[in-house]
Amino acid sequence: MTEIVHRLEPMTHADAARCAELERALFDGDGPWPEPAFHAELDAPHVRYFVVRGDDGVVVGYAGIGLLGSGPNVESEVHTIGTDPARRGRGIGTALLHELLRVADRHGGPVFLEVRTDNEPALALYRREGFEIVGTRKKYYQPSGADAFTMRRPARDEETAR
Ligand SMILES: CC(C)(COP(=O)(O)OP(=O)(O)OC[C@H]1O[C@@H](n2cnc3c(N)ncnc32)[C@H](O)[C@@H]1OP(=O)(O)O)[C@@H](O)C(=O)NCCC(=O)NCCS
């Protein structure tokens, strides 16, 4: 059942510890980002991060995207997306990805991401939102050594020109 997402808003530094806690739960063995990594991302130019909060204000989902390049050769790259395991399947990941794609479409150009080749829930979500596999990166994740697919979603104008 889809959950109505009441509170999707920009991530702040105050959210970094909770996001690092979720990373440990979601990406154990694949180099979960520690709290300082979230602070560094929030301080970086050309990135946008968002969170979804539950009714109690606690972060239950988070996502970020990098906006690369300028002029006609721009592209975007999904840096991370995750939903609290206890809150999966309620539309939180979809809402976060839609927000990232809105930002990417304002920037222009295609959107890229990496995803574990065995991550079926994420692959299903990305395929549904127009991403296609364009390559494989062997042993991309460490220390697990898991492979990644690179996925690409066409630029909005490229899509409508098809
Ligand atoms: C991928 C992830 C963010 C999806 O978050 P979510 O809040 O559960 O997503 P939603 O409820 O919006 O579901 C979106 C789609 O994901 C897919 N999906 C979600 N859970 C799934 C599951 N258990 N099996 C297969 N597909 C699943 C479905 O396509 C679903 O669409 P549908 O509801 O129309 O069938 C979440 O599973 C997650 O945090 N995974 C661990 C972290 C991760 O792998 N992030 C991606 C790294 S590249």
CB of 76 closer than 6 angstroms to any ligand 1 atom = no
Q: Is residue 16 part of a domain?
A: yes
Q: Is residue 38 part of a domain?
A: yes
Domain with 33 in it: 8-161
Q: Is residue 141 part of a domain?
A: yes
CATH number for the domain that contains residue 67: 3.40.630.30
Are 53 and 10 in contact by the 8 Å Cβ rule? The answer is no
3-state secondary structure the chain: CCCCCCEEEECCHHHHHHHHHHHHHHCCCCCCCCHHHHHHHHHCCCEEEEEEECCCCCEEEEEEEEEECCHHHCEEEEEEEEECHHHCCCCHHHHHHHHHHHHHHHHCCCEEEEEECCCHHHHHHHHHCCCEEEEEECCCCCCCCCCEEEEEECCHHHHHCC
Total number of domains constituting the chain: 1
CB of 60 closer than 6 angstroms to any ligand 1 atom = no
CB of 81 closer than 6 angstroms to any ligand 1 atom = yes
Q: Is residue 130 part of a domain?
A: yes
How far apart are the CA of 135 and the centre of ligand 1, in A?
A: 21
How far apart are the CA of 91 and the centre of ligand 1, in A?
A: 8
CB of 43 closer than 6 angstroms to any ligand 1 atom = no
Q: Is residue 2 part of a domain?
A: no
CB of 26 closer than 6 angstroms to any ligand 1 atom = yes
pTM for the whole thing? Answer: 0.93
Q: Is residue 72 part of a domain?
A: yes
- pLDDT (tens place) for every residue of the chain, 162 residues total: 455 556 999 999 999 999 999 999 999 888 899 999 999 999 999 999 999 999 999 999 999 999 999 888 899 999 999 999 999 999 999 999 999 999 999 999 999 999 999 999 999 999 999 999 999 999 999 899 999 999 999 998 766 555
Residue 3's pLDDT is 55
Q: Is residue 1 part of a domain?
A: no
Q: Is residue 45 part of a domain?
A: yes
How far apart are the CA of 38 and the centre of ligand 1, in A?
A: 22
Handedness of CA 97, 113, 139, 141 (dihedral sign): negative
